[in-house]
Amino acid sequence: MGDKRRIEHQIAQIAVRQHGNVTRSQLLAVGVGPDAIKRRVKAGRLFRVHRAVYAVGRPPVTPFEKAAAAVLACGPGAALSHGSAMTLWGLWKRWDSPFAVTAACDRRPQGIRTYRSAGLRPSDFRVQLGIRVTSPARTLLDSAPRMSAKSRTRAVNDARRAKLASLEALGDVVDRFPLHPGAPLLAPHVA
């Protein structure tokens, strides 16, 4: 009985850190085997959100729960990005669908818009509200092609005013990724 409680407690701790989600590998690591995972799904204790990603207790409802699940589905090193990251950083008011995630590996889960980018550094990532996300400067670089000139100016100014991104950080991503479609669009803001 004590072992069961310990496992339940570990699952709950993981899920709390990840907006109610756990991965199959995390479940296996705490001692929940493949058959036990299937039983939990059948009993309604786990809800499959993406391949190898489960919500604990109920399906995800909030955008944060769904965004966290999308990042987990894209594997280690993945981060919310592009328009989804703009919203998480508070620079946009709406959540795009599907969620956008930049991933280190070539995973393409259904219902998630995935991107790969070479040359990203640890400084290009943060954790915001418990979700791994591209840095505000990288987020602005990725989102710049989708914005009008006026929207880009507003987003850059909002990020600077909120102390999310400095001119130096914006200049750094523009310099490191000169061939990125957003680089020439952000360059005038850092000149």
DSSP assignment string, 67-101: HHHHHHHT-TT-EE-HHHHHHHTTS-SS--SSEEE
Cα–Cα distance, 102 to 36 (Å, whole number): 31
User: Tens of pLDDT along 139-187?
Assistant: 999 999 999 999 999 999 999 999 999 999 999 999 999 999 999 999 9
Cα–Cα distance, 122 to 23 (Å, whole number): 23
pTM more than 0.85:
yes
Quick one: pLDDT at residue 117? 84
CB 126 within 8 Å of CB 165: no
CB 181 within 8 Å of CB 145: yes
Among 80, 89, 103, CA closest to 161: 89
Cα–Cα distance, 132 to 63 (Å, whole number): 14
Kind of pairing between the strands at 99-102 and 79-80: antiparallel
Kind of pairing between the strands at 53-56 and 79-80: unpaired
CB 67 within 8 Å of CB 113: no
Among 90, 91, 69, CA closest to 80: 69
Quick one: pLDDT at residue 43? 95
Residues of the chain where predicted confidence (pLDDT) is lower than 50: 1
